[in-house]
Structure 1
């Protein structure tokens, strides 16, 4: 059996899941005393060591302004979509036309792909039904969207969220590529 090598980078990246597992252990028992914390730490270290996950590299970049803009847009979209879904439930008039919409993302990062898909799935009226990681395409089931204009509005909303996520926490390379794309879009529109 080959010995598992552990680098300092691996140890550093194992700290957040270890702390999270300790917290979950103590929360489940509703006891945060020192013995529970210590035993939770032993269990967490064992779990992280036995069930190794691939290392997820974060960008080490955070922009609070775009994070706040993302949060504001997210809350606004949840409120608007909730009212829309409630209205559809109260005034149901068949036939309700839904669509499956494919959205091509700019990013190829698994982390950002997941962030965009979860963001859109948390907004009522849309859910991710398929993910094509190799092409960075998300397929959504979208409630009450049958016209080309409604579909384009949804695709624009996904693009806005992706842009804000990249600007808030994306890597330097992704951020620069996004700014270059936005510059080209502005020049094409002018």
Structure 2
């Protein structure tokens, strides 16, 4: 990688702030030391650029956060029911779900959203074909498996509405394949 691409101003600023917070004292020395540390980290451990996904849609992001909070409450209640229920043991399932998009950043964000929700956990994510494998608590019927897959696609749609390009959001609305995806 070229030197220009290794120097990342945002990372330098974040490192300077974190370094200052760790030392607990705002001083020029701490800010400069943190900035130099951020520069050194960028030079020694360069991060690849995130391509094409720097867009943040505030309304989509707010909807994503609100839906996550609702999902957290709803799924926590569901997990509590399963734990407190007597008699029947829960039947769990591992489902493979192929995402609509082939963007690794969306794959990661969708997997994190799903793993944050109680009762579901991503056990594997394959970026080669954008498939995630999700362990779901108390899923035994075909309808429950279909609902779990729908939950994964809904989480992905929220991520695309919050961070996607205009073309991706339009394809999501119309049901067309995502840009760059051959079906």
Does residue 1:177 correspond to 2:171, yes or no?
yes
Q: Unpaired runs of 5+ in structure 2?
A: 178-183
Give 2:71's match in structure 1, choosing from 68, 77, 94.
Answer: 77
**Corresponding residue pairs, total:** 177
Q: What CA distance in whole angstroms lies between the structure 2 residues aligned with 1:71 and 1:157? A: 15
Across the aligned residues of Structure 1 and Structure 2, the Cα RMSD in angstroms comes to 2.1
Q: What CA distance in whole angstroms lies between the structure 1 residues aligned with 2:24 and 2:121? A: 34
Q: Which residue of 1 aligns with 2:11?
A: 17
Query: 1:45-84 residue pairs with structure 2 within 5 A?
Result: 45-84=39-78
Q: Unpaired runs of 5+ in structure 1?
A: 184-190
Normalised by the length of structure 1, the TM-score is 0.84
Q: Which has the higher helix share?
A: 1
Give 2:109's match in structure 1, choosing from 106, 115, 121.
Answer: 115
Query: 1:132-151 residue pairs with structure 2 within 5 A?
Result: 132-151=126-145
Q: Which residue of 2 aligns with 1:186?
A: none
Does residue 1:131 correspond to 2:125, yes or no?
yes
2:175 aligned counterpart, secondary structure: helix
Deviations 1:111-155 (A, max 9, x none): 111000000000001111011111110000011111111111111
Normalised by the length of structure 2, the TM-score is 0.86
Does residue 1:91 correspond to 2:88, yes or no?
no
